[in-house]
């Protein structure tokens, strides 16, 4: 749950997903295929998935997403905190967040789906 020092987090997760789906990461895909997976094309450290990315991770790579119903809508501050603090891909839907990291899922459950409180606590303890 601490910030990763790996500057190629997307590449790391891309490799995991491609291998999990049974493909050879060196031969079966082009970089254009991966650009659709990520919601934020500007920040290479962001692990927020687009809808196409979430569908690929869940459907093709068979990764299990954990869904949390949020107590309120996500704010801009929380979006920035998610990009900074989460080390595993996640997908944001209306008043819900789907995440691959079980530890963050459990901690968010313990905070009753209060994303603001959880992210503020997580940021304070970094």
Amino acid 31: pLDDT: 63
Amino acid 32: pLDDT: 64
In this predicted model, what pLDDT tens digit does every residue of 36-66 receive, in sequence order? Answer: 899 987 788 889 999 999 999 999 999 999 9
Residue environment code for 40-76, b if the CB has 16+ CB neighbours within 10 A, otherwise e:
eeeeeebbbbbeebbebbbeebebebbebebeeebee
Percent of the chain with pLDDT over 90: 55
- How many CB atoms sit inside 10 A of residue 28's CB? 11
| Domain range for 43 | 9-124
Kindly report the pTM of this predicted structure: 0.86
In a domain, 1, yes or no: no
Q: What is the mean pLDDT of residues 82-88?
A: 92
Rg, C-alpha atoms of the chain: 14
> Residue 15's pLDDT band (boundaries 50, 70, 90)?
confident
Q: What is the mean pLDDT of residues 3-31?
A: 76
Q: What are the two backbone dihedrals, phi and then psi, of residue 75, each rounded to the nearest 5 degrees?
A: -95, 170
- Contact by Cβ (8 Å): 87, 101: yes
In a domain, 3, yes or no: no
In a domain, 114, yes or no: yes
Q: What is the mean pLDDT of residues 70-79?
A: 90
In a domain, 2, yes or no: no
Amino acid 59: pLDDT: 94
Query: Could you tell me how many helices (H) and strands (E) the chain has, helices first?
Result: 6, 3
> Residue 28's pLDDT band (boundaries 50, 70, 90)?
low
Overall domain count for the chain? 1
């Amino acid at each position: 749950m601490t910030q990763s020092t790996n500057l190629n987090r997307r590449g790391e997760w891309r490799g995991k997903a491609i291998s999990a789906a049974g493909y050879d990461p060196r031969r079966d895909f082009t970089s254009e295929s991966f650009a659709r997976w990520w919601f934020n094309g500007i920040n290479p450290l962001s692990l927020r998935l687009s809808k196409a990315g979430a569908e690929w991770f869940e459907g093709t790579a068979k990764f299990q997403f954990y869904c949390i119903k949020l107590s309120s809508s996500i704010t801009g501050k929380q979006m920035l905190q998610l990009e900074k603090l989460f080390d595993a891909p996640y997908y944001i839907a209306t008043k819900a967040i789907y995440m691959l990291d079980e530890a963050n899922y459990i901690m968010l459950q313990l905070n009753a789906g209060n994303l603001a409180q959880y992210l503020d606590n997580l940021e304070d303890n970094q």
